[in-house]
């Protein structure tokens, strides 16, 4: 068998095979023969239901996939079966499928062939009926295209039933015949069957004399030819007149519901009394079409009509309307639906009655399947037609509106026909495609397929699908990827989701359905394979054995040489032991140090603490990798978190109480998470004593961009206290951070190529710092109380050279964060009062701010905080040289050339001006005066240069310097507005 268990042998090859299960997929081989009983009918219906799907689906993917709709079929309304299929005595059950009976009885006694063929001949007309039934239900008028398969799934079951029937027969079979081989019997049966039943059951049959077996291809080709030349069977434009009596079942005033389920009954009743040969469908418009076609004349003339003549056609029409809806009825034959349809018919009939006769006539002249639609659309478009008072009885003929209605209807019908034609072409194309591909049928042998299957499965089997597809999975989760079924949910998580989805929406479309089944099928196969691998891995390993029985996958290739993993470990241990001893000792010391420092809160002085070398670059990287692994594990753990009692549970969850198992899982999960978090915290080395090394190990970790990026991610998994501690550590050792220590490189305006690399690096590091640690600090500060902000600032001022730190971008950012948070706390406290800082806290804050302020302004170095000032100071002849005289223009270019980023200096100044504004807001009156004093020159310089610039350029900004003057004024205003001043007030 192939991968998914469907048979791929050609029909012609199948003849030689034993009939068994392959026959289930064979459209030519009809194992049910001519037997008509309910079970066969059921099987047929099921098969048709399957056949109504696309061809991919005909192959049943395993019995679980069966939707069970067939079971819902109504079992009632079988009274007319006899009418339909002719009287059926027990004695004429087909014997053509009698393997079980004969063999089990030990009586290999098939009758002679003449008897056999008679057994076949007898049920044949009934077969035809069934074919007609099938055709009419399934694709009543669209096309009589061949159906692949339509297999009764339980043909074996049917066979058993027949067997029972046969046993019941008071038959002379038991005594008849001599033993024959199975092949002989089969061959004989095949011949008989081919003779009896022209192949492809739902095909229009060949004329009686052309009774040679046709292959599927031949039939198809013929069909195509017929369809392309002749009128499409889909459009029986003129119904052939039906001379026969209208069936009692239809005109006898039975409730329409009866007709619904009893479609075949009505049909067969129509055909009753005809010669069996009349059923031969020499024309592609078979009896079903004809049978449903309305012929007003004959119905008018009917005796005993319970309805008035206009009513008659309506009633006649009803069965004709059924075919398009019949598949739906098959899908769910719930009684309610039947009733609803009955109502629908009744309504339709009423509508038809209400329309004027002209319209009525034209509606009834349409091909039956269009009549309902046409009627409805006409009524919708011309509601006035229904009002009898609008009709002019005197006019006799059709009114204008009626004519319009007819015209309208005809147009509609034209559109409908065009639509059908389009569908038809589409189908044709599809059939062509399938036919062209059929060339390749049977190209691969069974073992070829097995081989491919093995390879494919080995690709699919993986111990951890999540790890393999980690990137794509998370990527699509983050960026919103295509929810293609192929990529969709991971194999691991798929089953639960899919079953839920399956329950939720029954009405998946065909392709989704097929895709779903396929996924499930693949999943099952992979699962089986995985289990087998595990089993073999557990069972077959022998110490030191060469080779072993194992199933390989790409992830777990077959090992040619099985070396016990214990042995390799031992060897590794030995080689590592020396190195381990050294590093182990160091670790022990470190651990001890860390332990000692814990009690003292990291405030040990360097004097009694042991010094240690700072972490080397490789050490840092190694630790960072470990940290990343931990963080990844934590993130993974968080994604797989078991449902907790607090988390919202699904409504169908089992009540409130958690089961023991869940609680266990939750506990295990929690303990695992706690362990990982502890490891993370320890490895971050935040709690090691401050003076243990310079820089502190934690600071060393932050020295690489990797470490900077790690911190926010790590902090997400840590408690708020730990976050606070870590960031306090950053503040306390701010001076030692690489971004502060090497910040002077950024001010270096020389074009020294030897430094440019270092400069680019520190630029990158600063950027990363601003994108990772500063936001973390901001988040922490945004919720911090006054006490903590004061403490942070105090630590910042105490432990660092404030001027030096404030000359760096990170330092400015941190100071601004503290100041603005404190300010908003003070203002919030004054307005709301409840949550604000206490008086003591405010006093403390004022003290600390005073300290910061005095430090910043002590040596007249405040202007040096501005990058532009520092850049100018680095110029060879000082600022004055460039600003004085008429050198303005060239000075600018000189500055631009030398500083590289003269204009950017203004941009870089902005954060500093912001900091100044924050200082000004927090400052007292005296402090503000000091501030203005200190910055006076800087302010004036900015304002003057801006004004000069604008006068020189006649108020029009020169190209290439649009930002300059405006930005300078804006920067100054940042501070001046904080002091309730404006740059416009400054006159030069």
Partner 1 sequence: MSYRENLRSYLLTDPSGPKPTNQSLAKMLIFSAFKTLTGQQVTIELKNDLAIQGTLKSVDQFLNFKIDNIRVLDEARHPHMMAVKSAFIRGSVVRYVHIPAAAVDTQLLEDATRREASSQSGR
Least CB distance from residue 628 to partner 1, whole Å? 6
> What angle do the packed helices 902-922 and 888-899 form, to 10 degrees?
90
Least CB distance from residue 713 to partner 1, whole Å? 9
SS3 677: helix
Least CB distance from residue 514 to partner 1, whole Å? 10
Tokens representing 616 are 């080397």
Least CB distance from residue 3 to partner 1, whole Å? 6
Which one, of 129, 465, 469, lies nearest residue 271 by Cα? 129
Residue 606 CB partners (closer than 8 Å, separation 6+)? 691
SS3 per residue for 404-451: HHHHHHHHHHHHHHHHHHHHHHHHHHHHHHHHHHHHHCCCCCHHHHHH
Q: How far apart are CA 487 and CA 503, in angstroms?
A: 22
Instruction: Using alpha carbons only, give the angle 833, 835, 837 rounded to the nearest 5 degrees.
Output: 80
957-981 burial by CB neighbour count: b if 16+ within 10 A, else e? eeeebeebbebbbbbbbbbbebbeb
Nearer to partner 1, 402 or 683 (CB): 683
Least CB distance from residue 468 to partner 1, whole Å? 5
Least CB distance from residue 772 to partner 1, whole Å? 11
Nearer to partner 1, 476 or 669 (CB): 476
Nearer to partner 1, 429 or 487 (CB): 487
Nearer to partner 1, 58 or 263 (CB): 58
Q: How far apart are CA 55 and CA 105, in angstroms?
A: 39
Least CB distance from residue 624 to partner 1, whole Å? 11
Helix (H) or strand (E) holding 922: helix 902-922
Q: How far apart are CA 210 and CA 195, in angstroms?
A: 10
Which one, of 146, 132, 123, lies nearest residue 290 by Cα? 132
| Contact set with partner 1 (CB under 8 A) | 2-4, 6, 8, 56, 437, 440, 443-444, 448-449, 451-453, 455-456, 458-459, 464, 467-476, 478-479, 481-482, 487, 518, 522, 552-558, 625, 628-629, 632, 709
Least CB distance from residue 753 to partner 1, whole Å? 26
What backbone torsions phi and psi does residue 770 show, to the nearest 5 degrees? -65, -30
Nearer to partner 1, 477 or 581 (CB): 477
Least CB distance from residue 202 to partner 1, whole Å? 24
Nearer to partner 1, 484 or 859 (CB): 484
Q: How far apart are CA 558 and CA 858, in angstroms?
A: 75
Least CB distance from residue 926 to partner 1, whole Å? 49
585-604 burial by CB neighbour count: b if 16+ within 10 A, else e? eeeeebeebbeebeeeebeb
Nearer to partner 1, 53 or 933 (CB): 53
Nearer to partner 1, 439 or 656 (CB): 439
Least CB distance from residue 480 to partner 1, whole Å? 12
Least CB distance from residue 434 to partner 1, whole Å? 10
Least CB distance from residue 442 to partner 1, whole Å? 10
Least CB distance from residue 459 to partner 1, whole Å? 6
- What is the distance, to the nearest Å, from the Cα of residue 457 to the centroid of all Cα atoms in its chain? 22
Nearer to partner 1, 109 or 458 (CB): 458
Residue position matching structure tokens 């696309």? 54
Which one, of 793, 827, 799, lies nearest residue 915 by Cα? 793
Question: Based on the number of CB atoms within 10 Å of its own CB, is 535 exposed (0-12), middle (13-18) or buried (19 or more)?
Answer: exposed
Q: How far apart are CA 64 and CA 524, in angstroms?
A: 12
Are 620 and 700 in contact by the 8 Å Cβ rule? The answer is: yes
Are 470 and 462 in contact by the 8 Å Cβ rule? The answer is: no
Nearer to partner 1, 153 or 521 (CB): 521
Residue 468 CB partners (closer than 8 Å, separation 6+)? 462, 555
Nearer to partner 1, 629 or 910 (CB): 629
Q: What count of Cα atoms within 13 Å lies in the side-chain half-sphere of residue 905?
A: 26
What helix, strand, coil percent values describe the chain, rounded to 5?
65, 0, 35
- What is the distance, to the nearest Å, from the Cα of residue 774 to the centroid of all Cα atoms in its chain? 37
Least CB distance from residue 331 to partner 1, whole Å? 25
Residue 358 CB partners (closer than 8 Å, separation 6+)? 397, 398, 402, 403, 406
Least CB distance from residue 474 to partner 1, whole Å? 6
Q: How far apart are CA 918 and CA 817, in angstroms?
A: 9
Nearer to partner 1, 136 or 765 (CB): 765
Nearer to partner 1, 556 or 725 (CB): 556
Question: Based on the number of CB atoms within 10 Å of its own CB, is 837 exposed (0-12), middle (13-18) or buried (19 or more)?
Answer: buried
Nearer to partner 1, 56 or 358 (CB): 56
SS3 per residue for 687-734: CCCCCCCCCCHHHHHCCCHHHHHHHHHHHCCCCHHHHHHHHHHHHHCH
Least CB distance from residue 19 to partner 1, whole Å? 22
Tokens representing 418 are 């065009």
Distances (CA, A) of 481 to 425, 501, 513: 36, 20, 22
Nearer to partner 1, 212 or 558 (CB): 558
Which one, of 619, 618, 599, 617, lies nearest residue 609 by Cα? 599
Asked whether the CA dihedral 39, 45, 50, 55 is positive or negative, the reply is positive
Nearer to partner 1, 79 or 464 (CB): 464
Cβ neighbours of 824 (radius 10 Å) = 13
Least CB distance from residue 635 to partner 1, whole Å? 8
Nearer to partner 1, 253 or 557 (CB): 557
Nearer to partner 1, 488 or 642 (CB): 488
Residue 456 CB partners (closer than 8 Å, separation 6+)? 3
Which one, of 460, 479, 463, lies nearest residue 471 by Cα? 479
């Amino acid at each position: 068998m192939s991968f998914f268990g469907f048979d791929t042998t050609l029909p012609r090859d199948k003849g030689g095979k034993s009939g068994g299960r392959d026959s289930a997929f064979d459209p030519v081989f009809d194992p049910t023969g001519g037997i008509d009983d309910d079970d066969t009918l059921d099987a047929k219906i099921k098969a048709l239901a399957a056949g109504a799907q696309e061809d991919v689906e005909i192959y049943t993917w395993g019995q679980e996939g069966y939707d069970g709709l067939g079971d819902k079929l109504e079992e009632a309304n079988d009274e007319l079966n006899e009418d339909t299929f002719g009287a059926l005595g027990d004695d004429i059950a087909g014997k053509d499928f009698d393997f079980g009976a004969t063999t089990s009885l030990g009586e290999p006694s098939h009758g002679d062939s003449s008897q056999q063929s008679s057994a076949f001949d007898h049920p044949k007309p009934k077969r035809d009926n069934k074919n007609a039934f099938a055709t009419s239900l399934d694709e009543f008028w669209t096309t009589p295209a061949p159906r692949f398969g339509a297999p009764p799934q339980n043909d074996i079951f049917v066979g058993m039933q027949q067997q029972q029937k046969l046993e019941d027969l008071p038959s002379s079979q038991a005594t008849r015949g001599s033993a024959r081989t199975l092949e002989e019997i089969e061959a004989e049966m095949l011949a008989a069957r081919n003779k009896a039943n022209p192949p492809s059951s739902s095909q229009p049959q060949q004329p009686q004399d052309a009774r040679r077996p046709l292959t599927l291809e031949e039939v198809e080709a013929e069909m195509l030819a017929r369809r392309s030349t002749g009128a499409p069977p889909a459009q029986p434009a003129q119904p052939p007149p039906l001379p026969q009596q209208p069936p009692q079942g239809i005109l006898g005033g039975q409730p329409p519901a009866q007709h619904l389920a009893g479609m075949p009954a009505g049909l067969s009743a129509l055909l009753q009394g005809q010669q069996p040969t009349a059923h031969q469908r020499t024309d592609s418009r078979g009896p079903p079409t004809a049978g449903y076609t309305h012929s007003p004349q004959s119905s008018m003339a009917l005796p005993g009509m319970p309805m008035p003549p206009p009513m008659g056609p309506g009633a006649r029409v009803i069965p004709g309307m059924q075919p398009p809806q019949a598949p739906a009825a098959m899908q769910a034959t719930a009684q309610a639906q039947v009733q609803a349809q009955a109502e629908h018919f009744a309504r339709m009939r009423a509508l038809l009655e209400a329309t004027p006769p002209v319209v009525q006539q034209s509606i009834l002249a349409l091909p039956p399947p269009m009549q309902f639609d046409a009627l409805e659309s006409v009524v919708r478009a011309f509601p006035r037609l229904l009002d009898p008072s609008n009709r002019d009885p005197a006019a006799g003929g059709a009114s204008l509106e009626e004519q319009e209605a007819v015209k309208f209807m005809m147009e509609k019908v034209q559109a409908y026909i065009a639509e059908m034609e389009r569908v038809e072409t589409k189908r044709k194309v599809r059939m062509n495609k399938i036919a062209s591909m059929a060339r390749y049928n049977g190209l691969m042998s069974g073992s070829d397929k097995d081989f491919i299957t093995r390879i494919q499965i080995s690709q699919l089997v993986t111990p951890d699908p999540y790890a393999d597809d980690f990137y794509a999975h998370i990527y699509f989760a983050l960026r919103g990827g295509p929810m293609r079924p192929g990529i969709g949910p991971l194999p691991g998580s798929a089953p639960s989701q899919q079953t839920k989805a399956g329950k939720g929406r029954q009405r998946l479309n065909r392709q989704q359905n097929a895709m779903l089944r396929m996924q499930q099928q693949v999943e099952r196969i992979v699962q089986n394979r995985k289990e087998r691998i595990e089993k073999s891995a557990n069972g077959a390993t022998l110490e030191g054995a060469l080779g072993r029985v194992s199933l390989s996958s790409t992830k777990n290739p077959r090992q040619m040489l099985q070396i016990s993993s214990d042995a390799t470990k031992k060897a590794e241990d030995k080689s590592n032991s020396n190195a381990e001893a050294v590093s182990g000792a160091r670790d022990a010391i470190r651990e001890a140090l860390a332990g000692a420092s814990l009690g003292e809160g990291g405030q040990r002085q360097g004097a009694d603490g042991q010094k240690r070398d700072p972490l080397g670059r490789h050490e840092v990287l190694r630790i960072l990798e470990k940290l990343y692994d931990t963080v990844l594990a934590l993130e993974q753990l968080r994604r797989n978190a078991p449902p907790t009692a607090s988390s919202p549970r699904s409504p169908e969850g089992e009540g409130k109480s958690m089961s023991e198992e869940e609680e266990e899982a939750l506990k295990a999960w929690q303990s695992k998470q706690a362990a990982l978090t502890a490891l993370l915290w320890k490895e971050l080395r935040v709690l090691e004593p401050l003076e243990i090394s310079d820089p502190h190990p934690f600071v060393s970790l932050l020295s690489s961009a990797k470490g900077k990026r790690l911190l926010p991610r790590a902090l997400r998994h840590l408690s708020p206290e730990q976050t606070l501690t870590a960031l306090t550590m950053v503040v306390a050792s701010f001076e030692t951070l690489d971004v502060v220590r090497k910040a002077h490189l950024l001010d270096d305006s020389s074009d020294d190529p030897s430094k440019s690399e270092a400069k680019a690096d520190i630029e990158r590091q600063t950027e990363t710092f601003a994108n990772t640690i500063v936001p973390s600090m901001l988040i922490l500060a945004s919720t911090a109380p006054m006490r903590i902000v004061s403490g942070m600032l105090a630590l910042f001022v105490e432990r660092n050279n404030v001027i030096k730190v404030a000359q760096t971008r990170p330092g400015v950012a941190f100071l601004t964060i503290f100041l603005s948070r404190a300010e908003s706390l003070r203002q919030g406290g004054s307005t709301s009062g409840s949550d604000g800082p206490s008086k003591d806290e405010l006093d403390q804050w004022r003290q600390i701010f005073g300290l910061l302020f005095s430090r910043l302004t002590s040596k007249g170095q405040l202007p040096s905080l501005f990058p532009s000032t520092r850049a100018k100071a680095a110029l060879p002849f000082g600022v004055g040289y460039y600003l004085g005289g008429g050198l303005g223009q060239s000075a600018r270019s000189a500055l631009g050339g030398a500083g590289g980023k003269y204009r950017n200096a203004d941009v870089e100044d902005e954060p500093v001006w912001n900091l100044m504004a924050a200082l000004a807001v927090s400052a007292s009156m005296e402090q503000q005066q000091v501030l203005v004093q200190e910055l006076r020159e800087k302010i004036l310089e900015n304002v003057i240069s801006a004004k000069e610039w604008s006068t020189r350029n006649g108020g029009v900004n020169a190209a290439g310097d649009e930002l300059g003057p405006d930005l300078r004024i804006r920067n100054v205003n940042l501070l001046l507005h904080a002091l309730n001043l404006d740059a416009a007030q400054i006159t030069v």
